[in-house]
Amino acid sequence: MDRLVINDLELNDKRVLMRVDFNVPITDGKVTEDTRIQAAVKSIKKVIVDGGKLILMSHLGRPKGEPNQTFSLKPAAKRLSEILGKEVKMAGDCVGSEVESMVNALNPGDVLLLENTRFHKEETANDGEFSSQLAAFGDVFINDAFGTAHRAHASTVGVTKTIKECAAGYLLQAELENLNKLQEAPEKPFVAILGGAKVSDKIKVIQNLVTKVSSILVGGGMAYTFLKAQKIEIGNSLLDDEHLSLAHNTLVVADNPHPHKKFDFILPSDHTVASKSNMAEFKMNDSVSIADDWMGVDIGSKTIAAFKEKILNAKTVLWNGPMGIFENDNFAKGTMEIANAVAEATAKGAFTVVGGGDSVAAIEKAGIRDKISHVSTGGGASLEFMGGADLPGIMALTKAKKKA
């Protein structure tokens, strides 16, 4: 990696400003799901053990640039304190003289969580003055919030302007290293599985992948726009009209690839369809075309078999986007079977990555999350990264000197 990482930093007795992603679900003042907090614990413990004075900052929800106790990080401080088994001090704000006094009172190994950065509209505006106020709390900066790495905000990018050493935390580092493996010389066959609702969300990923993959398998709601672009009847299935021509162009590229970069582009050949008027009414649709008043809600058994064959022979797999409306058990089969196939490929030695909020929910539903090589928790950030974009939060980190 060409950026500083947490292990490159001298932390002892330093004020360590760390951006984490504590954007967790909270009900009645309690954290109901703490995966994101747990994910930052490795970096947090490192700072404590090394004798740094840790100042954590995060956003939570969308408080629209003003204080709103519904979006207070207090419950997150409480949860972190339970996890660490030590006190986590909570600041009433993220800037100002009171916070400054709390920062100055920190001893090595202490942990302070600043209040929601989005209580100030300057956060998302990446305001220079606000950024300097935050940056003044840290001798060094660590970013361990991959989920917001695609946003140029004060707490992710602004603070790096004045802090000399800005490094990736362990979580961010692992995301980058794993996602980079897909970009740089992935072992072939490399199979990308794409699904989910909207073509517009995923088209960049497809465009970035066409020069790298052996096969692209497309399922889920986005598949119907591609089928429609081939003049196949799709009934009332999801259609992204605006992106029909883009879908068509992608199919043309797939048909006429660069001679040395041939890849298969495989769309569903059968489906589970549900009645437009009543989703409880559903049936198998053995052909590729779908009649009026029916909508494709899952990939069919022929498609599952075809996708599985590709996946089980792969050495590298990237999966983003469910194969059907998997939240409904009647339409979850395609997604669950693909999840199990990806787990099986992993067991056979393939390097596998699953990314995307709903895709992660799907592998959890299938009970195979721990059977995947890398689960990217970034949502929008992982999509942009897989689309080949440079993420501002990463570009802002300090370049590492080349190791001799």
What positions carry a catalytic annotation? Answer: 36, 198, 357, 380
Q: How far is the CB of 223 from ligand ADP (least distance, A)?
A: 7
Q: How far is the CB of 155 from Mg ion (least distance, A)?
A: 24
And the tokens for 1?
A: 């990696």
> What number of chain residues touch Mg ion (CB under 5 A)?
2
Nearer to ligand ADP, 145 or 223 (CB): 223
Using CB under 5 A as the binding rule, whether residue 388 contacts Mg ion is answered as no
Nearer to ligand ADP, 214 or 359 (CB): 359
Query: 26 - beta bridge partners?
Result: 31
186 HSE (CA, 13 A, CB side): 29
Q: Which amino acid is at 283?
A: K
Q: Looking at residues 343 to 372 of the shown chain, list those that interact with Mg ion (rule: CB under 5 A).
A: 357-358
Nearer to ligand ADP, 325 or 397 (CB): 325
Nearer to ligand ADP, 44 or 206 (CB): 206
At residue 262, φ and ψ (nearest 5 deg) are: -70, 140
Contact residues for ligand ADP, defined by CB under 6 A: 195-197, 201, 220-221, 238, 296-297, 320-322, 324-325, 327, 356-359
Nearer to ligand ADP, 126 or 225 (CB): 225
Q: How far is the CB of 169 from ligand ADP (least distance, A)?
A: 24
Return the one option of Mg ion, ligand ADP, none that residue 344 interacts with (CB less than 5 to 8 A, by type). none
Nearer to ligand ADP, 10 or 364 (CB): 364
> Alpha-carbon distance 294 to 402, whole Å?
58
Q: Which amino acid is at 225?
A: T
Residue of minimal Cβ distance to Mg ion: 358
Q: How far is the CB of 297 from Mg ion (least distance, A)?
A: 17
CA angle 199, 194, 174 (to 5 degrees): 115
Q: How far is the CB of 191 from ligand ADP (least distance, A)?
A: 17
Return the one option of ligand ADP, Mg ion, none that residue 320 interacts with (CB less than 5 to 8 A, by type). ligand ADP
Sheet holding 215-218, edge to edge: 264-266, 215-218, 190-194, 316-320, 351-355, 374-376
Q: How far is the CB of 382 from Mg ion (least distance, A)?
A: 11
Nearer to Mg ion, 357 or 388 (CB): 357
Q: How far is the CB of 268 from ligand ADP (least distance, A)?
A: 9
Residues 6+ apart with CB under 8 A from 153: 59, 117, 123, 124, 126
And the tokens for 349?
A: 């030695």
Interface residue list for Mg ion (CB under 5 A):
357-358
